[in-house]
Amino acid sequence: MANKPGDPSSAPDVALTAGGEVKAVDRLDMRSYFAIPYAAPPVGDLRWAAPAPPRKWTTALAKTTSAAPCLQTSASPFRLAGDSEDCLYLDVHAPTGQGPFPVMVNLHGGAFNTGGTMVYADPSPLVTKGVIVVNVGYRLGAMGFLAHPALAVNGAAGNYGIMDQQAALKWVQDNITRFAGDKNNVTLFGESAGGFSVMVHLASPGSKGLFHKAMVQSGNYGNDRQLTAAQMGATSQAVVDTAINAAKAAGVTGIHCVPGALTAACLRSLPDAVIRTYLADAISTALPIMVPSVDGNVLTKSVKATFLAGENMKVPLVNGTNEDEYALYIAINEAGRRAAASPPNVDPANTSFSLPAAAYAPTVAGLTAGTGVDVNAVVTTFYPLANYGANPAIQPSLATAAMATDLGFACPALRTSQRIAAQGAPVWMYEFRDQTAIPTVGMANGNYYLSFPQGAAHSYDLQYLYNLGDLGNDERRQLQTAMTRYWTNFAKTGNPNKGGEVPANWPSFTGPATVLGLDVASGGGIKQLSTFDADHKCSSAWDMVTF
């Protein structure tokens, strides 16, 4: 039967939310409530508008799987099938036993272009340690971040995906007690774009009071990439005009918009064919690194400027990065070249698909454009190919991955931790280091076919927090147990060391020598790192990286 209004002592079979009843799916040591609407479908007049409250329902929701992911964009290999504009739903996963339980709200990754709640549908490694996990779907790409001036309300446009996340956090405040959750103990966390989203919420005035602790996983990659409202507006205008002209040239009918004289109504009436085929990917092409803009509403300043001014929320924070973040992107490129071969090549001994030595310096030049760094110094002094193994064929791949990891992830994460520590807020920093982590890219029929090892690449920590598949051996399972204990301890108490037994003390961050390394036993285990700064050349090659 449904729970009565108030705070139930345990997750009920049927939860009575403000919108209606939601029936649970009983799983091993976990109760899941799938596809709960937290906002109205963002279609029709609500396309490119702030999320509106969902309609109430009279028959108990009894979904057994996550809702469709929001419209996927870009050429990413991580695009999910079955996407839809009707996508503002969340899943609640609750433990058995007596609450109230701490709440962890997960914002998924995917470069603000891809991803969805279905990827995280089994958070049992976290939930079984006594926390509720809420997974949130939010608008992506052009649907979530287009900022055409015609859409402006009170002078602001864009960042609808972040508004969605804020609406979901408000839903948690209004409803999570009905699932035996503690609305006064909410931890916001996410990886990649989800981690950057957490940074946005720490900086956004509209997010204050909606959560109490935060965790940023590989999310400090875009601190200097945020566009102003004017820049995002101009980019959005160009993208829309290009998409409409291309669609008209292709003979798409039903387009009532005239480039250069667009209205909000005509934009919201664009046919699905224009949205999916021409517009959705166009903004990803125009903005290879998609991050929320400074729209004047969700963000009145950039994330970096907000933190520099000390105007960010000061809550307990876990901030971390992976040892080989950028190896994922080198892998994606090599896998693409192999797939394009005729026939496709899956022989790891064939290194002809690797990044060639002749492309090393130009690749570095592209990745460091705008930093003012001396490219020659990067490739000869800080990251010479000879430092990256004995096989010349894969040295450029390994060197580029190391360089871009340091510039794009490791050093920005370090500077963020230093900034927060200087503000006096409690912060703990980690580095995920498992070189045996099972790759997402480069696997076929259980075999790895790329020429170089990816190690602890971007997103490869997620398999230790969620049940994404068999980890393969006991030492990985032991690392999973340790990581989920740290994560849930933090959610429970605001300190990763308190709440349950941990394998090693995680020191609060006071400087680069207080980073905790997370590794399997054969790789060195879990231990305090003393050389993070030197390992990633933050004070030498990348001293210009600030936060």
- DSSP readout, 394-406? THHHHHHHHHHHI
Is the bond leading into 41 cis (omega within 30 degrees of zero)?
A: no
| Burial track 390-427 (b if 16+ CB lie within 10 A, e otherwise) | eeebbbbbbbbbbbbbbbbbbbbbbbbbbbbbeeebbb
pLDDT truncated to tens, each residue of the chain (547 aa)?
A: 455 555 689 999 999 999 999 999 999 999 999 999 999 999 999 999 999 999 999 999 999 999 999 999 888 889 999 999 999 999 999 999 999 999 999 999 999 999 999 999 999 999 999 999 999 999 999 999 999 999 999 999 999 999 999 999 999 999 999 999 999 999 999 999 999 999 999 999 999 999 999 999 999 998 888 999 999 999 999 999 999 999 999 999 999 898 888 999 999 999 998 999 899 878 888 888 899 999 999 999 999 999 999 999 999 999 999 999 999 999 999 999 999 999 999 999 999 999 999 999 999 999 999 899 999 999 999 999 999 999 999 999 999 999 999 999 999 999 999 999 999 999 999 999 999 999 999 999 999 999 999 999 999 999 999 999 999 999 999 999 999 999 999 999 999 999 999 999 999 999 999 999 999 999 999 999 999 999 999 999 999 999 9
Bridge partners, 95 (sequence order): 30
Sign of the dihedral defined by the CA atoms of residues 370, 377, 334, 439, in that order: negative
Tell me the residue ranges of DSSP E strands in 47-180: 89-95, 101-107, 132-136
pTM across the whole model: 0.96
CATH number of this structure's domain 317-535: 3.40.50.1820
- For the record, the structure tokens of 346 come out as 């899956």
Task: Determine phi and psi for 132, rounding to 5 degrees.
Answer: -90, 135
Of the chain, the end-to-end C-alpha distance in Å amounts to: 52
Every domain range in the chain assigned CATH 3.40.50.1820:
317-535
Gap between the Cα atoms of 137 and 252, Å rounded: 30
Gap between the Cα atoms of 10 and 100, Å rounded: 7
Answer for the pair 8, 24: CB distance below 8 angstroms, yes or no.
Answer: no
Rounded to the nearest 5 percent, the helix, strand and coil shares of the chain are: 35, 15, 50
Answer for the pair 283, 142: CB distance below 8 angstroms, yes or no.
Answer: yes
Q: Enumerate the H helices of 158-291 as residue ranges.
A: 160-175, 193-203, 229-249, 264-268, 272-273, 280-286
Task: Determine phi and psi for 187, rounding to 5 degrees.
Answer: -110, 125
- Angle subtended by helix axes 327-340 and 395-405, to nearest 10: 140
Gap between the Cα atoms of 188 and 194, Å rounded: 10
